[in-house]
Amino acid sequence: MTEPSSSIPPAERVFEGIPASAGIAIAHAFILSQDEDPSPHDPRLEAEEIQIELERFAAALAEADKVLEQIEMMARADVRDRAEIFEALRMMLCDPALTLAIEAQIRESSSTARAAIVTETNRLAAIFSASGDETIRSRAEDIRSLQAHLIACIQKAPVDHRFHDSAVLILSTLSPSDTVLYARNQAGAFVLESGGINSHAAILARAFGVPMVAGLKGIARMSRPQGMVIVDGYAGRVIIDPEPATVQQYRERKAALEEQRSNLGSLRDLPAETTDGTRISLAANLDMIDEVDAALENGAEEIGLMRTEYLVMGRSGDVSMEEQYSYYRQLAERAYPLPVTLRAFDIGSEKLAGEIWGRNSSPLGMRGTRLLLARREVLDRQIEAVLRASAMKNLKLMFPMVSSVEEIRRLKEVIADVGGKLRAENIRFDEHMPIGAMLETPAAALTADAFAAECDFLSLGTNDLAQYTLAVDRTDDALASYYDEFHPGILRLIRACSVAARRAGIPLTICGELAANPLATGVLIGLGIRRLSVQPIALGALKMRIRAIDTDTAGRMARDVIRLKTAAEVRGYLMDCA
């Protein structure tokens, strides 16, 4: 076997991580050297050195607090409310539980300040890491970042935050303050070996608009300094040494996204209405609370689908009522006065299937509302938290993957029971919080009139409706060519739902991917759809498309395509119209 010649360019390698902050970067890698194990084997102090070391620690503490205060001020200027992360960090830093423990180590074990900081912060981080609560677990990272701060201050060796030309920074971990400083120094993107969607670094990266992919263990070792990297923060993908064709493809995507963003400014305050003045309501689909800002910036009129699964990721459903309440409440406040449609946990199938949720990975198995009705304690907790958070009257609750109206009836009984309990405890909530169903199975779509009679609103989840109507597992790549939402069978189901909702006089929103597909906009409007909910980033393009359509043409398109026989014929027809 021959050694590869050094003139052969390195092969493209693709890594899938956690999409922690949206955006695309194409740049050179800047690998930030792995921190050495800070655990020092410092010699024991002599008795007369102890007082000096205590003073060094006090000075380092004051210095670290000053540095964090400065970063907090910078963050306040750039990302407003995210600066509160630093307030919390400073409180942790000066918490006597930590500082007294470090001082005691120095005094009683004759440790150097550095060794005492490492021991005590590691101890605290281990306690946080062992918590069953994900929010508390993620605070272990904050403690480690405080450790790095204090040590840098003790050693008088601040981190250098300069690098070149919007580089992609590849790091093992990233503290909140480093995130701010790197972002202000024009980091192109962050690629992290650790972390997740909810770390402070991720929240700040999103606030600064710097793409981030997290959770790629070993990526620093596999990257070349100055090598070309593509970071796709939408998909959570990192491509090392991309082929020229891949670079070209991503350049085009990036340019299209930038153009869309710049067009958006002028479109933002214009209504989403057809050329003949028919208003279409545009809402946003969100997975996480931090995306509320993006929804508002992109002109969403509501949050049409707030997925809640992320709250139970990695847990068996025992996320407490209190934690959920605080999350839903914050969401309601941040979006206020916009309405927010919370979707009850849609667990099973491709979402969070696995060990802790039981063997429910089949799309035809225990999933969504079925699973909630089988796990009453999980359902009751979620309903209680949503009702408690509904006092501002801008929350709605909808249930996924239902196949019979009986499920809705049972859910309404549960809601009434939980509401009765809250009333007995004198807890205020929205007594008329709207309850809706997601039409995602053919059975539900074909009995949309029955659902309309029981619900305050309906939402069409075309991703699943396509999966179940076409009998195609939506996650199976081998079947991708069979999964086509333009199948006339699906369009006919959409028409049936639209007619049922109109007759019942209740709102119907399309919240599946089809809603964002510009090829579909005309035909959906022609089928009578007046509400669309899509990812915030897709709102601008969708509004532009709507403003170029007239309802007569849309109606004709709908009448024509509904008679066609195949998805290919529908696509062909719509392409000709475009």
Give the shortest CB-88-to-Mg ion separation in angstroms.
35
CA 158 to CA 470: how far, in whole Å?
A: 59
Distance of CA 79 to the CA centre of its chain: 18
- Per the annotation, the verdict on 149 as an active-site residue is no
Please give the full DSSP string across 352-381, using - where no structure is assigned: S-BGGGBS--STTSS-HHHHHHHSHHHHHH
Interaction partner, residue 462 (ligand PEP, Mg ion, none; CB < 5-8 Å by kind): ligand PEP
Q: Residue 40 is which amino acid?
A: P
* Strands 228-232 and 24-31, bridge-based pairing: antiparallel
Spacing of C-alpha 527 from chain mean position: 31
Amino acid symbol at 355: E
Q: Which is nearer to Mg ion, 204 or 490 (CB)?
A: 490
Stretch that binds Mg ion, among 22-30, 288-296, 309-317, 436-444 (CB under 5 A): 436-444
Binding mask 273-302 for Mg ion (x = CB under 5 A): ------------------------------
Please state the φ and ψ torsions of residue 119, each to the nearest 5 degrees: -60, -50
Of residues 461, 522, 528, 536, which one binds Mg ion by CB under 5 A? 461
DSSP string, 404-426: SHHHHHHHHHHHHHHHHHHHHTT
Residue 290 interacting with ligand PEP (CB under 6 A): no
Is 511 one of the annotated active-site residues of the chain? yes
CA–CA dist 173, 159 (Å, integer): 14
553 part of the interface to ligand PEP, by CB under 6 A: no
- In the bound state with ligand PEP, the residue whose beta carbon lies nearer, of 232 and 464, is 464
Under rule CB under 6 A, residue 361 binds ligand PEP: no
Give the SS3 label for residue 141: helix
Q: How far is CA 248 from CA 16, 26, 244, 255, 346, in A?
A: 20, 10, 6, 11, 37
Instruction: Tell which positions 379-398 bind ligand PEP, by CB under 6 A.
Output: none
Residue 322: CB atoms within 10 Å:
12
Q: Contact 306/344 with Cβ under 8 angstroms?
A: no
Q: Find tokens 């006919």 and name the residue.
A: 492
Contact 160, 181 (CB under 8 A): no
* Binds 407: which of Mg ion, ligand PEP, none (CB < 5-8 Å by kind): none
How far apart CA 522 and CA 571 sit, in angstroms, is 12
Q: Minimum distance between the CB of residue 459 and ligand PEP, rounded to whole angstroms? A: 8
Query: Between 446 and 577, whose beta carbon lies closer to ligand PEP?
Result: 446
Under the binding rule (CB under 5 A), the answer on residue 464 touching Mg ion is yes
Q: What would the x/- binding string for Mg ion be over residues 514 to 553, using CB under 5 A?
A: ----------------------------------------
Question: Which of 200, 455, 487, 497 does the annotation list as catalytic?
Answer: 200
In the shown chain, the binding pattern of residues 464 to 503 toward ligand PEP, with x for contact by CB under 6 A and - for none, equals: x---------------------------------------
Q: Determine if 307 is a binding residue for ligand PEP (CB under 6 A).
A: yes
| Residue closer to ligand PEP (CB basis): 513 or 560 | 513
CA 22 – CA 236 distance, rounded (Å): 8
Q: Which among ligand PEP, Mg ion, none contacts residue 293 (Cβ within 5 to 8 A by kind)?
A: none
| Comparison of 177 and 369: residue with beta carbon closer to Mg ion | 369
Q: How far apart are CA 327 and CA 382, in angstroms?
A: 11
Structure tokens at 288: 């996480």
Contacts of 156 (CB under 8 A, 6+ apart): none
> What is the Cα–Cα distance from 154 to 53, expressed in whole angstroms?
10
Q: Please, what is the minimum distance in Å from the beta carbon of residue 214 to ligand PEP?
A: 21
Site string for ligand PEP, 448-467 (x = CB under 6 A): -------------xxxx---
Number of residues that bind ligand PEP (CB under 6 A): 10
Identify the sign of the CA torsion 255, 261, 266, 271: positive
CB of 491 to ligand PEP, least distance (A): 15
- Among the listed ranges 90-98, 242-250, 252-260, 437-445, the one in contact with Mg ion (CB under 5 A) is 437-445
Catalytic residue among 153, 455, 497, 511: 511
The side-by-side arrangement of strands in the sheet containing 212-214 is 13-16, 237-240, 228-232, 24-31, 168-171, 189-192, 212-214, 18-21
Nearer Cβ to Mg ion (290/464): 464
Taking the C-alpha atoms of residue 252 and residue 246, their distance in angstroms, rounded to an integer, is 10
Residue 436 near Mg ion by CB under 5 A: no
Q: Which does 307 bind (CB under 5 to 8 A by kind): Mg ion, ligand PEP, none?
A: ligand PEP
Among ligand PEP, Mg ion, none, the one that 512 touches (CB under a kind-dependent 5 to 8 A) is ligand PEP
Choosing among ligand PEP, Mg ion, none, which partner's interface includes residue 24 (Cβ < 5 to 8 Å by kind)?
none
Any contact of residue 440 with ligand PEP (CB under 6 A)?
yes
Please give the Cα distance from 410 to 413 (Å, whole number). Answer: 5
Span 513-532, contacts to ligand PEP by CB under 6 A: none
Query: Hey, what's the torsion of the CAs at 450, 451, 456, 460, to 10 degrees?
Result: -140
Q: Closer CB to Mg ion, residue 167 or residue 501?
A: 501
Minimum Å distance from CB 474 to Mg ion? 9
Nearer CB in complex with ligand PEP: 429/457: 457
Q: Are 499 and 528 in contact, with CB atoms under 8 Å apart? A: yes
CA–CA distance, 7 with 439 (Å, rounded to integer): 56
Would you please indicate which residues are annotated as catalytic (active-site) residues?
200, 511
Residue ranges that bind Mg ion, judged by CB under 5 A: 440, 461, 464
Residue ranges that bind ligand PEP, judged by CB under 6 A: 305, 307, 346, 440, 461-464, 511-512
